[in-house]
Amino acid sequence: MKENGEVQAAAKKAMDANKKKKQGRQFILWILALIVGAALGWLGIKPLNDLFTFIATVFTRLFQFIAVPTIALAVITTLAQLGAKKETGRIFAHAVTYTLLTTICAAAIGLAMYLWVAPGNLPADIVGAGASNVPKNLGHLSYYDHILSVIPNNLLQPFLSGNVLAVMLIAASFGLGLAFMPKTENREVLMKGILGFQELLFTLIRALLSVLPVGILAFSAQLSAQIEAGVIVGALGKYTLVIMASNCIQFFIVLPIFLILRGLNPLDVFRKMSPAIAVALFTKSSAGTLPVTLASAEHNMKANPSVSRFVLPICTTINMNGCAAFILVTSLFLMQNAGFELSMTTMITWLFVAVLAAVGNAGVPMGCYFLTLSLMSGIGAPIGVMGVILPIYTIIDMIETAENVWSDSCVCAMTDHDLKGKIDDPRVQGKAA
């Protein structure tokens, strides 16, 4: 009996070592794909760039295809299984607490950097010229309209339009409905069908991950070609410096400190979640990256699925560190250009407005830009500045999204660490059964 136990322990140790080696090889492969893609894109060979653009578009569409049903099913199945239990409240409380703490830190860093760097006003003629670049169909929207759009008026429209917050609302209502539904045969059949569909999606995600280096190479080449061609140009100097520096401080200093304080190794968590961060950087959509984030959390970081499938979809919609910094800094910059008095009380007030707005923002490309545009148009700020910002927003959006997904990963890792052994792990239950 003792010998069997030792053999099993040795086999498990060998399997773990093989998995670590495989993860290490994958990480090196992703880095090589980034470097090779950047080099090929910089060469400026048009047929090759056209091919990379096609591949990048295919991968983006595949991520979008899987993302929305993955969000919905992850929330439905988790709430259906935990909705009537105290574990749901504990997971949710940890996720929301870490989300608010990290988001407030991100906004506070943005404010501190803005006060330190102190960007000046733009010339009036530049602001006037930029007004023509502002998306015409969004300049008149209010934040009230943004909130109202989250409330679905039919079942299919949120899924067809990719309205992540509305999908989350529908999924939460379905999940809680299943949790409190009488335990009849019909419920069991429905749950088996939903769980089976979810397993199918995760199989597709694993298949997509196996060819992810090709997508990373294409994304990297596409970005490199754009930079070399001058599509992404210049910056607004000090304003851009404030945004970039704020995001870098949050990414490389603040979030690792959160992990260290909870007894986690930031480098280890980053390495295991690097596929999701890389995809987020190029797709510029934390919602679209969710399938990869979930797979990385469960297969690399070994997070409890009860935690990851509940925390990550929620964080995808409410945990927007990069967005909070962008909304605050950009709002202050626009109000300053409009001649508003930026007292400390006003700036602190807008810090919390930025945090709340970021929590309500959807994790889609340019979501922060459109939300800031709505807020500023509502108070009469010169939205022409948003047109001036637009050409450089591609780079800003990439960095923000990578930071958002890194923050989601940190919140998931900390929540999983805090609740380890305190809530049921379906993987352990499956083995016991």
pLDDT, tens digit (0-9, with 9 covering 90-100), for 175-220: 888 888 888 899 889 989 998 998 888 888 878 878 888 888 887 7
Q: What pLDDT does residue 37 have? A: 84
Own/partner contacts of 164-169, CB < 8 Å, gap of 24 or more, are 164/68, 164/71, 164/287, 164/316, 164/317, 164/362, 164/363, 164/364, 165/317, 165/360, 165/362, 167/68, 167/71, 167/72, 168/71, 168/72, 168/75, 168/313, 168/314, 168/317
Does the structure show a pLDDT above 90 at 423?
Answer: no
**One-letter identity of residue 251:** F
pLDDT at 231: 45
State residue 85's pLDDT score: 64
For residues 294 and 66, the answer to whether their CB atoms sit within 8 Å is no
**Could you tell me the CATH number of the domain that includes residue 337?**
1.10.3860.10
Residue 393: CB partners within 8 Å, gap ≥ 6?
366, 369
341-355 pLDDT, tens digit each: 889 999 999 999 899
| Count of C-beta atoms within a 10 Å radius of residue 65 | 14
- For 193, other C-beta atoms within 10 Å of its C-beta total 10
Q: Residues of the chain with pLDDT > 90: what percent?
A: 27
292-318 pLDDT per residue, tens:
999 999 999 999 998 998 899 888 878
What pLDDT was estimated at residue 139? 45
Q: Exposed, middle or buried, 241 (CB in 10 Å: 0-12/13-18/19+)? A: middle
- Stretch 226-241: mean pLDDT: 61
Distance CA(338)–CA(301), nearest Å, equals: 47
Q: Is residue 13 part of a domain?
A: no
| pLDDT single digits (tens) 108-144 | 999 999 999 988 777 666 555 555 566 655 544 555 6
When pLDDT is cut at 50, 70 and 90, the band that residue 247 belongs to is very high
Tens of pLDDT, residues 83-95: 656 777 889 899 9
Residue type, 116: W
Residue 80 or 431, more confident: 80
The answer on pLDDT for 271 being more than 80 is yes
Can you say whether residue 365 is alpha, beta or left, with left for phi > 0 and alpha for psi between -120 and 50 degrees? Answer: beta
Distance CA 341, CA 63 (A): 44
Contact 147, 360 (CB under 8 A): yes
- List the alpha helices (DSSP H) in 83-184: 86-117, 124-130, 143-148, 157-161, 164-180
Instruction: Give 266-316 as a DSSP string.
Output: HHHHHHHHHHHHHHHHHH--HHHHHHHHHHIIIIIS---HHHHHHHHHHHH
Q: pTM of the prediction?
A: 0.77
Least confident of 11-20, 179-188, 348-357, 400-409: 11-20
Q: What band does 414 get if pLDDT is binned at 50, 70 and 90?
A: very high
Question: Does residue 24 belong to any structural domain of this protein?
Answer: no
What pLDDT score does 235 carry?
39
| Residue 244 domain flag | yes
Span 388-404, average pLDDT: 83
Chain-wide mean pLDDT for the chain?
81
357 CB-near residues (< 8 Å, 6+ apart): 143, 323, 324, 327, 371, 372, 375
Q: Domain total for the chain?
A: 1
Q: How confident is the model at residue 232 (pLDDT cuts 50, 70, 90)?
A: very low
Domain contains 229: yes
Q: How far apart are the C-alpha atoms of 276 and 215, rounded to whole Å?
A: 12
Other CB atoms within 10 Å distance of the CB of residue 9? 10
- φ and ψ at 150, to 5 degrees? -75, -25
Q: Assess whether pLDDT exceeds 60 at residue 258.
A: yes
- Write out the H or E segment, with its range, that includes residue 19: helix 2-42
Gap between the Cα atoms of 308 and 420, Å rounded: 12
SS (H, E, C) 234-260: CCCCHHHHHHHHHHHHHHHHHHHHHHH
Supply the pLDDT for residue 53.
Answer: 84
Distance CA 403, CA 324 (A): 11
The answer to whether residue 369 sits within a structural domain is yes
Give me the domain span that covers residue 403.
46-421
Structural domain contains residue 359: yes
The number of beta carbons lying within 10 Å of the beta carbon of residue 421 is 6
Whether residue 280 lies inside any domain: the answer is: yes
Angle at 88 between CA 82 and CA 90, to 5 degrees: 150
Distances (CA, A) of 90 to 52, 74, 155, 305, 400: 45, 17, 29, 15, 28
The confidence score (pLDDT) of residue 250 equals 96
Please name the residues in contact with 132: beta carbons below 8 A apart, sequence gap of 6 or more: 387
Q: Looking at 8-12, 103-107, 373-377, which range is the least confident one?
A: 8-12
* CA separation for the pair 260, 74 (Å, rounded): 28
User: Does residue 276 lie in a domain region?
Assistant: yes
pLDDT higher than threshold 90 for residue 368: no
pLDDT at 394 over 80: no
Secondary structure of residue 126 in the 3-state scheme: helix
Q: How far apart are CA 236 and CA 388, in angstroms?
A: 8
The mean-pLDDT minimum among 11-15, 29-33, 43-47 falls in 11-15
Give 64's pLDDT tier (boundaries 50, 70, 90). confident
pLDDT at 67 over 80: no
pLDDT score, position 284: 81
Average pLDDT over residues 255-269: 96
| Predicted local distance difference test score (pLDDT) of residue 433 | 46
Task: Quote the pLDDT of residue 10.
Answer: 56
Q: What is the pLDDT of residues 25-44, one digit of tens each?
A: 776 787 788 788 888 888 87
**Mean pLDDT highest for which of 67-71, 193-197, 316-320, 406-410?**
406-410
Reduced to 3 states (helix: H, G, I; strand: E, B; else coil), residue 32 is helix
**Pick the residue with more confidence: 224 or 93?**
93
